Amino acid sequence: MAALTLLDGAFYTGEDWMISKACCRHLLIVVSLFTSLSVGTPRHLHAGSSDESVRELLFTREHDVLSQGFDSVVLQASKLTPEDRFDVLADWVLPSETRSNFRMQSRFVQISPIADSEVAPDESVVEGITSPAFYLLTSAKETNRLSELRRRVREIPDSSQSDQIRAKLALLFMIDVASLTSKSPATPSQSTSAILDALATLVRKQSPDANRQDWPEILTLAYGRQSALRRSELVELAASICSPKMEDFEWDSNGVWDVYAFGSLAALTLSNETNAMHRSVSSSAFENSPFRSWQRASVVSANSRGNGFTAATWRPMGYAVHKVSGHNNDYLYLPSPLTGNFEIECDLTGQPFQEMQVAYAGLFASHHSSRDQAEFGGIRSQEMLPLEPPMSPPDDWMSCRVSVRDGVCRHFINGRQILQRTLVDGQFPWLALRAHRLSHGGIRNLTITGSPEIPSSIDMVNSPKLVGWYSYYDEPVDNPNDMFSWRSVATQETEASFEVQHAARRELAGSNLESLLMYHRPMMEDGSIEYEFFYAKGETAVHPAIDRMALMLEPDGVKVHWVTDGAHQPGILSPANRVFATKEGQRRPQLDLKDNSWNRVRLELRGDDVQLHLNGKPVVERTLEPWNQRQFGLFHFADETNVRVRNLRWLGDWPNADQVFGENFRVMPNTAEMEQLASALPQSYQQDFRKLELDASHFIQRGGPISVEEDGIAMKASGNQSTDLPLWLEVRGDFDLRARFENFQHADVGDGALEMLAYLPSDGQKIRVARHRWDNKEQKLRTRFSPMTDAGHQAQRARDHWVANEATSGVFRMVRLGTTVHYLFAENDSETFRLLSTDQVGRGPLNAGGITLKAFSSKGGSASTTWTNISVRAEEISGVAVPDMQALRNQLDDSKKLLKKSFVHDFTKAAPDAEMFARMNDTRPWNEADDGLRMRDIGTGEWGASALVAQMPVEGDFDIRLGFDELKLSSGNGQQAILAIEVQPTSEPRTTVNSMLGLNAPGVIQAEGYARVRMPDGSHWFNGTERHTVTSATALRIARRGERFFMMVRAEGEQHDRIVSMSDHSNAPINGIIMMLHSGGAGSESSVRLKKFEVHSDEQ
C-alpha cells in the first residue's frame, strides 16, 4: 500500500522509497492516468519506464491523480489489461487509508451520440450510465475477483455519513447481483433483499433539504434493472427515491437523477412482464395499438442531451398508452396534421407526477395539482391561469376534451372549460399527447370526431409567433425585449407574410457560437420542406439541419457540421467541426449561391435518404444515421451571420384520413361494441322539449316548479325538495335512453343535483345517472343501482359509482343490452359518450312513468336546469314522453261514456244509504237543509280520519268521481290535512291508490296522486306523489283503464278535470271506495260538504 499512500497525498523523501516491482508497475499505471488528466500535451509512460522516471513525474505534480475526473479514469482504464484495470478501479472507487469515502460519481451518457461525442467504453455503461463502479464490477467478473471485491468492501468500516453507508450497501448489492448467472428472473438471496431494504430505508430518511447525492441508489437501481433480478425486488427502492419528491412536489431538484428514477419507477410498476425489466420499450410494442403510428418526440436540447437525460419511452396497454420514462417535455404526435372542425376526447391521468395533457396547434391546457390554477403552454414554456372556483378534486382518470370549431379552440377538463383561444389558420396543426419529463401517466379511449381534414402541406411559420419551434441552446424565442431572440416578423413583401429572423452577435466573433432553431414535430415520413433564405456573404446566412446534422451551404460546397451540445458536450467534438458532405474523391461542385439575394432550398426525405436542392439544383445526397431524430432546424453560427428565412412550407406524405382513423378514434374504444348493438335497436322515439305546444299545467309532475320555456322544460328544486317529471313511455327489451339538459345551476351552499332515473318494477330495480354538486363543493357524476323489494322499496344498500365532472350541460344515457346496463355521459355540447360504469340488471319492462327526469336538493341547496330533449331506442316502445293531457282527458271522458254500469248518488237530495255506505267517526245525520252531506274531522295526537266508505265491488275499467264544496282544511304542528278518495285492488302486494287534496303548507292546497304499497314488514312505500297547487277545487276523480290509474282534480272555476298523476298497478277488482277527511294535528278541525258521488264501470 506504500504507493497508494503516496498517491493519496503523503509525500516522502528518497530514503522512503522501498517498493516492490509490483508496486512500481502499479505506480506506472497511475502515472499514465495522471498525465492524461493534465492540461496540455499528455505524457505517456510505458511499463518499461524506470522507477526514477515515475518518481520524477510524481513529484512534479501537485494534484492527487485519483481525485481527477472519473471520465478520464474510465477512459484510461479501458487501455489496461483486465487485471490492472481491476486494481486501478478498485483503488479509485473504494476508500483508502487517507481517503475515507467511496467514489460513486458517474455520468449519464448522451442519447443518440454522434461520432467523437461519447467517450465511455461500453463495459462501463449500464442503463445509460457510465460509472467507474460499473466498470469495476465488469472487471471483477472478467477476472473472477468478485469474491475478493466483496471481501474488501465488507472489511471497510461503517461510516456515520449517510451517503457512505448507502455507497457501501450499493456496492454489496451490485456484487451480489453480478454473481447471478441465470438469465431467467431470479429471486435474490435473503441477504441481498436485506441490503435493498436497508438502502431504501436510508434513502427515505434523508433530510429534505440535504445536499442530495443520489448516485449510490441510482447505480443500484440501474444495475438491478439490467440484471436477471425480479422487478418486484426493485420497486420499493425506486419508490424510496421518488416518494419524497412527490410528497414535496419537487419537480426538478436533482435533474437527471430524477428523470431516471421516475422512469424506472414507472417501468417497474407498469410492466406485466415476469422476466427481467432491463428490456427497453421498443416500437414493436405499438404494432397492435391504435397508437402504433404515432410519432414520439421530446424537447431535446443541448442541456438535456449533453447531460444524458434518458430517452422518452411510451408503452401501449390496450386502448391506452402510458409514458414510462421521460426526457424533457415529451410528446406523442398523431401521424398527420389536422385542420377543419373536430373534437378530441380522451381520459387522462391527473394525479401529481401522473399529469398528462392533450396539445393542439402548439398549446395544451390542463388542470394543476393546486386545483385553483390551470396550466397551459407550448413547446417552450408554460404558464398558470387562476381558476375560480377551484376545480373539484380529480379522480385517477380525468376526462379531457379539445374542441376546434370555426377557428376557436376550447379546452375542457372534467367538463369544465379552462381555456378558449382563437387559432391562426393552419398554425402548427399537430395533435399530440404531452407530459412533463417526470410524469409517468397515461391516456386512454381517445376519439377524434367531427369533420377533421388532413392537408397535403402546411405552413411552418404563419404568425407573429414561432409556434412549434424552440431553440436547441435555450436561446430566447419570441421575446420582443431581446434583440438577439429568434423571432417571426411580419413583412410588407408580397412573397411572404412572415419572416424568421435572428441577429448575429458580432462582439463574440470567432467563438463559433452555435445557434439552432428546431421545428418540434419530426420528419418521420417521406416529404419535403421548402423555404427561401437571404444570403449576403459574411453577413447573412442560414443552413438546414436535420437533428444534429447541419448541411452548411457555403460557396465552395456543402459541408456537414455536427451540432454539439455546447457547454454540456462530452468528449472532444469541437463546435468548429465541419467536413465536406461529398465523399473523398467525389467532385465538389461550387454552390450557386445568389449574393445579396433570396435563395431557394428544398430538402427532400425519402426513407433514410436526404437530398438537398439549392435554387432548383440538387447539391448533395446523404443517408441519415440510425440515431437521427429527424427534427428539421435552421442553423447558423450566431457570432458570424444574421438569419432571414421566409415561405417555410412542408409537403408531407403523411397518411390520409382513412389511414389515420380507419376503425380507430371515431368512438370510445370501450363503448364501440355497445354502440354498434344499440344503433341496431329497431324502434326509436324522440321528443324535443323546445317545440312543445303545451304549458306546465298539462304535466304530471312532482315536487317543485316546472315550466315550459322556449329552450325546453325548466325545472327547479330548492331547500329539501325533489322536482320530478315522469315520462309516459313503455319500453321493453334492450333499450337506449338519453336525456339532454342545459344550464345546470346550483347554490353555493348545500346539495343540488339532476338525474335521469329508470324503474324496472318487475325486477325490483332502479337505475340512474346523475350530476351532483355537494355541500363540500365537490362536483361529480353518479351512477346508482338500487335493488328493491317486490313492493318497490330499496331492499339493500345502493351501489354507487362516482366520477368527477363539472359540466353544466350534457346528455345522460343508460343502455341496457341483455342483462348489463351501461351508464354514460356526454359533456356539454359533445357528441361523444363516456362510459361511467356498468351493472347487472333484470330484463323487465319500463312501465309508463318509470323514466323520470329529476332535480333535487337538500341542506339548503338548490338545483335548476332546462331539459331540452329525450330520445329512446329499444326493441319495443309505446306511449309518449309528455302526453297532451287535454287529449288524454278527452279520451278518458269519451271512454267513460262506454262503460256499462253507472252508480250515482246526489248528497244534495238524499242521505247515503246505510247498506251502500258506511260512515266512520263523523256520523252526524244528513240534513236536507245542508244541501249536501257535511263531513268534519277533529284532529288528535294520532293519525285518524272521518270517512265515508262505498261498499261496492268494482271490476274492470272504472271511473270514480266525488264532487264537493266548502272545503276547509286545517293543520296544526305542521301536519298535513287531506281530503281523498282511495281504492285498493285485491291483488298482492296490497296497493292503495289515492287522489286527494292536501294542505302541505299554510294556505297552500295541492292536488296529489300516488300509490301506497304495503311491504311484507308492514311499512309502506309511496309511488308517485305528483302535486299540483290549486286555489280551491270542486271534485276528485280516479279512473282505471286496463292496469293504468289516473288521478284527477277539478279546480274551482275550470270546466274540465286536470290529470294530476297516472301509474300502472293492477286490474284486479276493488271491494270498496273510501272518501276520507283528515285534519292535521291535535286541536285542528277540517270540514267539507259532499255533493255528488259517481261510479262508472264495466262491472259492479
DSSP letters, 786-815, are EEB-TTS-B-S--EEEEEE---SSEEEEEE
- Cα 729 to Cα 883: distance, rounded to the nearest angstrom: 9
For residue 110, give the C-alpha cell.
Answer: 448522451
User: pLDDT value at position 349?
Assistant: 93
- Cα 399 to Cα 826: distance, rounded to the nearest angstrom: 11
The three-state DSSP-derived secondary structure of 239-303 is HHHHHHHHHCCCCCCCCHHHHHHHHHHHHHHHCCCCCCCCCCCCHHHHCCCCCCCCEEEECCCHH
The whole domain housing 302 covers 283-455
Which run of H or of E encompasses 1088? Answer: strand 1085-1099
Is the pLDDT at 889 greater than 80? The verdict is yes
Domain check: are 902 and 963 in the same one? yes
For residue 591, give the C-alpha cell.
Answer: 454552390
Domain check: are 847 and 914 in the same one? no
- Cα 94 to Cα 1007: distance, rounded to the nearest angstrom: 92
Q: Which residues contact 547 (CB under 8 A, 6 or more apart)?
A: 112, 563, 628, 629, 630, 631, 633
Distances (CA, A) of 1011 to 249, 628, 939, 991, 1065: 58, 76, 24, 6, 9
Domain check: are 577 and 449 in the same one? no
Domain check: are 871 and 892 in the same one? no
User: pLDDT value at position 284?
Assistant: 46
CA 548 to chain CA centroid, Å, is: 34
Backbone angles phi, psi at 890, to 5 degrees: -65, -40
Domain check: are 777 and 839 in the same one? yes
Closest by CA position to 324, among listed 356, 352, 368: 356
For residue 200, give the C-alpha cell.
Answer: 431504501
Domain check: are 359 and 418 in the same one? yes
Q: Is the sign of the CA dihedral 112, 115, 119, 121 positive or negative? A: positive
Is the pLDDT at 965 greater than 90? The verdict is yes
- Cα 288 to Cα 292: distance, rounded to the nearest angstrom: 7
- Read off the DSSP letter of residue 971: B
Lowest mean pLDDT among 418-422, 495-499, 886-890: 495-499
Q: Which residues contact 1030 (CB under 8 A, 6 or more apart)?
A: 997, 1005, 1006, 1007, 1049, 1051, 1052
Domain check: are 906 and 1000 in the same one? yes
Phi-psi region at 1065: left, alpha or beta (left = phi > 0; alpha = psi -120 to 50): alpha
Distances (CA, A) of 920 to 924, 949, 1037: 10, 8, 21
In a domain, residue 264? The reply is no
Is the pLDDT at 318 greater than 90? The verdict is no
In a domain, residue 553? The reply is yes
Domain check: are 650 and 541 in the same one? yes
Is the pLDDT at 791 greater than 50? The verdict is no
User: pLDDT value at position 116?
Assistant: 62
Of 250, 269, 300, the domain-final residue: 250
Distances (CA, A) of 537 to 91, 479, 697: 56, 27, 86
- Cα 797 to Cα 787: distance, rounded to the nearest angstrom: 8
Closest by CA position to 807, among listed 506, 414, 437: 414
Q: Count CA within 13 A, CB hemisphere, residue 665.
A: 23
Q: Are strands 408-413 and 313-317 parallel, antiparallel or unpaired?
A: unpaired
Confidence band of 59 (pLDDT split at 50, 70, 90) = very low
User: pLDDT value at position 387?
Assistant: 92
Distances (CA, A) of 851 to 619, 736, 847: 74, 12, 8
Q: What is the mean pLDDT of residues 367-380?
A: 91
pLDDT digits (tens, 9 = 90+) for 13-49: 333 333 333 333 334 334 433 333 333 333 233 333 3
User: pLDDT value at position 6?
Assistant: 27
* Cell 292536488 -> residue: 1007
In a domain, residue 912? The reply is yes
User: pLDDT value at position 656?
Assistant: 86
Q: What is the mean pLDDT of residues 1001-1029?
A: 74
- Cα 747 to Cα 774: distance, rounded to the nearest angstrom: 10
pLDDT digits (tens, 9 = 90+) for 159-182: 888 889 999 999 999 999 998 864
Domain check: are 737 and 644 in the same one? no
- Cα 776 to Cα 389: distance, rounded to the nearest angstrom: 13
Selection from 267-276, 890-899, 1051-1060 with the highest mean pLDDT: 890-899
Q: What is the mean pLDDT of residues 536-543?
A: 97
Better-predicted residue by pLDDT, 59 or 348? 348
Which residues are paired to 683 by β-bridges?
874
- Cα 884 to Cα 1085: distance, rounded to the nearest angstrom: 38
In a domain, residue 107? The reply is yes
Longest alpha-carbon distance in the chain = 147
Q: What is the mean pLDDT of residues 550-554?
A: 97
Q: What is the mean pLDDT of residues 135-143?
A: 96
CA angle 119, 266, 272 (to 5 degrees): 110
Q: Count CA within 13 A, CB hemisphere, residue 873.
A: 14
Lowest mean pLDDT among 339-343, 392-396, 690-694: 690-694
Domain check: are 952 and 1057 in the same one? yes
Q: Which residues contact 15 (CB under 8 A, 6 or more apart)?
A: none
pLDDT digits (tens, 9 = 90+) for 704-731: 888 999 999 999 999 989 999 989 899 9
Q: What is the mean pLDDT of residues 320-324?
A: 91
User: pLDDT value at position 117?
Assistant: 65
Domain check: are 955 and 996 in the same one? yes
For residue 119, give the C-alpha cell.
Answer: 467517450
pLDDT digits (tens, 9 = 90+) for 665-708: 778 888 999 999 999 999 999 999 998 887 766 677 777 888 99
Distances (CA, A) of 969 to 164, 444, 935, 1031, 1087: 89, 61, 12, 12, 7
- Cα 142 to Cα 148: distance, rounded to the nearest angstrom: 13
Closest by CA position to 416, among listed 353, 451, 368: 368
Q: What is the mean pLDDT of the chain?
A: 86
Q: Which residues contact 492 (CB under 8 A, 6 or more apart)?
A: none
pTM over 0.75: yes
In a domain, residue 49? The reply is no
- Read off the DSSP letter of residue 770: E
- Cα 1099 to Cα 255: distance, rounded to the nearest angstrom: 89
For residue 691, give the C-alpha cell.
Answer: 317545440
Q: Which residues contact 833 (CB under 8 A, 6 or more apart)?
A: 668, 671, 675, 811, 813, 824, 825, 826
User: pLDDT value at position 475?
Assistant: 97
Provide, rounded to the nearest whole percent, the portion of the chain with pLDDT above 90. Answer: 63
What CATH number is given to the structural domain containing 1073?
2.60.120.200
Closest by CA position to 1060, among listed 787, 646, 720, 726: 726
Q: Is the sign of the CA dihedral 216, 221, 224, 229 positive or negative? A: positive
Domain check: are 341 and 297 in the same one? yes
User: pLDDT value at position 382?
Assistant: 92
User: pLDDT value at position 41?
Assistant: 30
The three-state DSSP-derived secondary structure of 582-616 is CCCCCCCCCCCCCCCEEEEEEEEEECCEEEEEECC
Of 882, 912, 927, the domain-final residue: 882
User: pLDDT value at position 53?
Assistant: 32
Q: Count CA within 13 A, CB hemisphere, residue 88.
A: 30
Which residues are paired to 125 by β-bridges?
130
pLDDT digits (tens, 9 = 90+) for 608-638: 999 999 999 999 999 999 999 999 999 999 9
Which residues are paired to 531 by β-bridges?
601
Q: What is the mean pLDDT of residues 1069-1094?
A: 94
In a 3-state reduction of DSSP, which class is residue 940? coil
Phi-psi region at 1018: left, alpha or beta (left = phi > 0; alpha = psi -120 to 50): left
Confidence band of 464 (pLDDT split at 50, 70, 90) = very high
What CATH number is given to the structural domain containing 296?
2.60.120.560
Q: How many residues does the chain have?
A: 1100
Q: What is the mean pLDDT of residues 1042-1048?
A: 92
Which residues are paired to 403 by β-bridges?
343, 410
Is the pLDDT at 7 greater than 50? The verdict is no
Q: Where are the alpha helices (DSSP H) in 569-688?
A: 657-660, 672-679
Closest by CA position to 982, among listed 972, 970, 990, 974: 990
Report the first-to-last Cα separation within the chain, whole angstroms.
121
Closest by CA position to 379, among listed 258, 466, 312, 503: 466
Closest by CA position to 534, among listed 650, 619, 618, 643: 643
Is the pLDDT at 209 greater than 70? The verdict is no
Closest by CA position to 66, among listed 58, 1094, 176: 58
- Cα 247 to Cα 441: distance, rounded to the nearest angstrom: 17
8 A C-beta contact, residue 979 and residue 996: yes
Q: What is the mean pLDDT of residues 315-321?
A: 85
**The one-letter amino acid at 289:** S
Q: What is the mean pLDDT of residues 841-869?
A: 95
- Cα 197 to Cα 188: distance, rounded to the nearest angstrom: 12
- Cα 740 to Cα 127: distance, rounded to the nearest angstrom: 54
Number of structural domains the chain divides into? 5
In a domain, residue 744? The reply is yes
Q: Where are the alpha helices (DSSP H) in 617-656?
A: none
In a domain, residue 149? The reply is yes
In a domain, residue 871? The reply is yes
Of 836, 855, 882, the domain-final residue: 882
